[in-house]
Structure 1
Amino acid sequence: MWMMVLKIVVSAGIITAISGIAKQYPGIGGWIAALPVISLLSAFWLLVGHQPSVEIARFLTSVAKGLVPTAILLLCMVVCLRSQWSFRLSFAVSTSVWLLASVGLKKIGM
């Protein structure tokens, strides 16, 4: 139980810190958010949870496969927001594009 609480506190603390930095310095905050902090933290939690290296490698492979759809989502979001679309509409469209990209890449074997 204490491990779950520790995971929540550490993970929430990192996200809160990145959000705080992004408020003051959007460029730096965005760069930090793009770092593989969450992926590596998740891999660390798997290690602490005694997952075998093979499972951690499978997790990180899936993370890598998610990079292309995520990049597409981010680019779509930027284009929508710069086109003066509302955040909600930009979010909905970008998420839909991400889903289509994810399904499309899955169908071609990625």
Structure 2
Amino acid sequence: MMELLASRIYYLVSFLLLGVGTYMLIGNDNLVKKVIGMNIFQTGIFLFFIVAAFVDGGNPPLLTAPEPYVSPLPHVLILTAIVVGVSLTAVALGLIVRIYEEYGTLNEDTIRKVIADE
């Protein structure tokens, strides 16, 4: 049982990160904490894809390398997703700064009340 758990620990960590990120996105009213939760969720997804692409004893996909080969596609997709995630975080934080300048708070419920009163 412990052997199976030890071999799958990275899957457990990735699902733990997904759960923590989801909880932070749903359970917090602070916009900055929501962005942090989104980043934790993204990290869980990145870890899951990298772990799923792991091949024990795998070699790079070259003609001179012996089998089994490792597919480079998941790694390329994760690198692209990291760049998109950083860009998304920068835009979200920029919008949060603008929201704070406009409403004077980062609490989502307070912002909704102010908008409803207008």
Name the TM-score class by shorter chain.
0.3 to 0.5
User: Higher relative CO (CA 8 A, sep ≥ 6), structure 1 or 2?
Assistant: 2
Structure number with bigger Rg: 2
TM-score by length of 1: 0.45
- Structure (1 or 2) with the greater helix fraction: 1
